[in-house]
Structure 1
Amino acid sequence: MVSQHSVFPPHVMKPLSIIYFISLAVIATADQKDIENVVHGASSKLTAKMFYEVAKGNGDKSFVLSAYSLLSPLALFSIASREYTQDEIWDTIGTNNDSFTKEVYDWKYNRVKSIKGVTLKTASKICLALNYDVYTDYGKGKWDSFGTELENVDFDSNVVTAREISNWVEEQTNHMIKDIVSTDSVNSFTRALLVDAVYFKGQWRASFDNKLTEEKDFYINNRDTSKVQMMYRKGNYKYTKSPILRSQVIEIPYKDGEASLVVVLPREIEGIKDVQEILKDPDVLDNIRRSMFKAEVDLYLPKFRIETTTNLKDVLEKVNFKRLFMQYGCSLYFIMRVLVNMYISDAVQKVLIEVDEGAETASPICKLVDLLSIFGGQTIHKFNFNANHPFIFYVLEGNNVVLSGQFYS
């Protein structure tokens, strides 16, 4: 029954109701897209900056890091701070008020926990000296929702405290990340310590056959070689040759397709330094991925296990996070119950990535999928991708860079 006050007759009301609910769905989708865009922009920008600085400091060494993991504690610091400290953080994490920050980084934290096809374990904690009285709403409410814990510890007992923090990180990462804090890195002068850890290992959507893995030469530079366990697989992948990077680029999907490994292989054996310079622009990787196409590739990729400890204070200060670490310039007012001179004394990140065949033998289903792609009426280009010299890699969740690094044998 239609109310006598209704402007529209019954046959019009139903379509209007449908339009109304569709409009609500569109609005919700737009809001979700805004959140995804903020996280993507923030992770891309911070990854590009941090990768470049860490690469400069590591020289001809393999390393891995996660700017993506740091976004959560940085978001928390933005909520707990004001004035120039907050502005400095907002500029990187892509938000401009506390409410939107919480909405965005709640989504990001829940997304990380739900990625299929990979093992991704993270641990993030802010350790404060015992004499700092933590404000409860942040210690048990907003902080926990981002996946970062807050705890008072006894920095005077540096041996015991270092062991307790390291043990906690080890438990959170399936016992893969060990000894993240050394006894000489904390002391009675430490006010606050940020620790961040990530362990990653994925299952390929199409696994390599370990019977085809062989010991091969890896060209560290034009003069020196080392031996690596080189995996091999012929299959269909997203691929491109980038004239901008003067590199081949391949994207290797993990199981369920929610995550992938992107490998940037310079054309020249000693070309990685030039590629690092170009990748300082966070838009370059996105543009390269948009140019990729499906191709049949003879893929040679080394097995590798890289574990890297990064001095975050040193790196973050170089990418313009200065006030967080300034004793008299940081405004982290809202962590403590009373107004005190609060700043971050030190910060450390430890990341471990493992890349291997992913199974004892290649799955028959994987081979069938490749055959269907080849004979499905689509023209398949054929290429050779031999990662036998230094390369850059990214682990992606959708379009977001979760890990970045370089392999030097």
Structure 2
Amino acid sequence: MNVISLAVITTADQKDIENVVHGASSKLTAKMFYEVAKGNGDKSFVLSAYSLLSPLALFSIASREYTQDEIWDTIGTNNDSFTKEVYDWKYNRVKSLKGVTLKTASKICLALNYDVYTDYGKGKWDSFGTELENVDFDSNVVTAREISNWVEEQTNHMIKDIVSADSVNSFTRALLVDAVYFKGQWQASFDNKLTEEKDFYINNKDTSKVQMMYRKGNYKYTKSPTLRSQVIEIPYKDGEASLVVVLPREIEGIKDVQEILKDPDVLDNIRRSMFKAEVDLYLPKFRIETTTNLKDVLEKVNFKRLFMQYGCSLYFIMRVLGNMYISDAVQKVLIEVDEGAETTPPICIGAAIHKQFQDFY
């Protein structure tokens, strides 16, 4: 039995601004999911395109020319004021979600000798929930520990050691750390006493023993010919967030499902066709932690300008001569699902982006 699970935010009122964020998230998720799946073989993985949207929006305001156009195309906006309105809404919407705890935190760490555009930062960056701080990259051991400790605190001690001492040095000019912490309680929890060890099918030949949870209840559900799968939506408390689980019809049908999900509209269309039904739900307890090379993945989906030494136009972060570009990016994601979700450390996401200047290379 192969399972794809997707955490989604659901809302009763769909406004234009909501649709922009949802559309951008769906498109970027579909592209990134396909590329990461190709590179992971039969391994389980988890990623978050949604968490990348705010840092990208933030960079769009700091960029111009082709770099800005490429970012706008990805985040679904077309000017600075609309970008600020959309992603200010996203930041405040995340803070106001009911029934779950979803915290986001971003920090741009700059070398000590770089003077930030403080007025610009206060007027633009603050609405994205992003901090700016000068740090001593020469003291790489101390600085890496301080940054990692900050991320760990923001994610309730779930994301650890996101920055290592050997990943920053005296040539590092700036570092962006982006973190998200999600904790949810099921609307209807699973009974621990009904959890038992069962076979989980890796392929037609191989199985693995897993702790399988069970609950009989009413859920939104459908059998989708388009996706060749069964699909169920498991709501969290207060119904503003849910876990959507896709179970391929065939044991080895995961590859077919991955191909179909290249279309970002497929899952939305299926969710609109779901209906309430009484379901015998068997769901494995699982914990997946994945580190993804974001630079590699984004370049494969034709998002390249931010990583081009001579093609990136990031002008409005700090007062400094030279061309700023992103040299490396990594995302670390952890998801854990169990019976109650009340005591579960569910989804934690962290991303670190290193930026350096051509003057030094």
Q: Give 1 or 2 for the bigger CA radius of gyration.
A: 1
Task: Check conservation: 1:200, 1:354, Cα contact below 8 A.
Answer: no
Question: Residues 274 and 32 from structure 1, CA distance in 2 versus in 1: closer, same or farther, beyond 3 angstroms?
Answer: closer
Between 1:29-38 and 1:213-222, the stretch displaced more is: 29-38
Structure 1 unmatched runs, 5+: 1-21, 367-376, 383-405
Post-superposition CA distance 1:233-256 (Å, at most 9, x none): 000011111111110000011100
* 1:364 CA drift (Å): 24
Q: Is the 8 A contact 1:158 1:186 kept in 2?
A: yes
Alpha-carbon spacing, 1:378–1:340, altered in 2? closer, same or farther (3 Å): closer
Q: 1 CA distance for matches of 2:353 and 2:98?
A: 28
Alignment check: 8 A CA contact 2:326 2:354 kept: no
- Distance of 1:277 and 1:194 partners within structure 2: 32
Q: Compared with structure 1, are the counterparts of its residues 294 and 379 closer, same or farther at alpha carbon in structure 2 (3 Å cutoff)?
A: farther
Residues of 2 paired with 1:61 and 1:87: CA distance? 35
Cα gap change, 1:69 to 1:365, in 2 (>3 Å): closer
2:230–2:248 contact (8 Å) kept in structure 1: yes
Distance in 1 of aligned mates of 2:325 and 2:359: 35
| Paired residues of 1:162 and 1:186 also in contact (CA < 8 A) | yes
Relative to 1, partners in 2 of residues 1:309 and 1:408: Cα closer, same or farther, differing over 3 Å?
Answer: farther
Q: 1:26 corresponds to which residue?
A: 8
C-alpha separation between the residues in 2 aligned to 1:201 and 1:341? 40
TM-score of the pair, normalised by structure 2? 0.87
Deviates more, 1:341-350 or 1:276-285: 341-350
Secondary structure of the 2:46 match is strand
Query: Counterpart of 2:14 in 1: which secondary structure?
Result: helix
| Percent identical | 96
Q: So what's the TM-score if we normalise by structure 1?
A: 0.77
Please state how far the C-alpha of 1:286 moved relative to its aligned partner: 0.6
Contact 1:209 1:360 in 2 (8 A): no
Offset of residue 151 of structure 1: 2.4
The structure-2 alpha-carbon separation of the partners of 1:204 and 1:345, relative to structure 1 and needing over 3 Å to count, comes to same
**1:51-71 Cα distance to aligned partner (Å, 9 max, x none):** 111212222222211111111
| Displacement after TM superposition at 1:120 (Å) | 2.2
Question: Retained in 1: the 8 A contact 2:190–2:339?
Answer: yes
Structure 2 residue aligned with 1:338, among 320, 323, 327? 320
Check 1:264–1:32 CA distance in 2 against 1; reply closer, same or farther (3 A cut).
Answer: closer
Cα displacement (A) at 1:155: 2.6
Q: Is the 8 A contact 1:206 1:362 kept in 2?
A: no
Gaps of 5+ in 2: none
Residue aligned with 2:181, SS? strand
What are the Cα deviations for residues 192-214 of structure 1, in whole angstroms up to 9, with x where unaligned? 33322333331111111111010
Deviations 1:7-59 (A, max 9, x none): xxxxxxxxxxxxxxx99999999998221111111111111111111212222
Superposition pairs of residues 211-222 of structure 1, within 5 angstroms: 211-222=193-204
Deviation (angstroms), 1:158? 2.3
- How many residue pairs match? The answer is 355
**Displacement, 1:226?**
1.1
Retained in 1: the 8 A contact 2:183–2:344?
no
- 1:143 shift after superposition: 1.2
**Matches of 2:131 and 2:121 in 1, distance apart?**
8
2: CA distance between counterparts of 1:188 and 1:334? Answer: 23
Cα pair distance change 1:363/1:100, threshold 3 Å: closer
**RMSD between aligned residues:** 9.6
Q: Deviations over 1:139-185 (max 9, x none)?
A: 33421210122223233332222211111100111111111112222
Q: Alpha-carbon deviation of 1:380?
A: 49
Q: Please give the alpha-carbon distance, in whole angstroms, between the structure 1 residues aligned to 2:258 and 2:7.
A: 42
Aligned CA distance change for structure 1 residues 205 and 407 (closer, same or farther; 3 Å): farther
Structure 2 equivalent of residue 179 of structure 1 = 161
Change (3 A) 1:274 1:408: farther
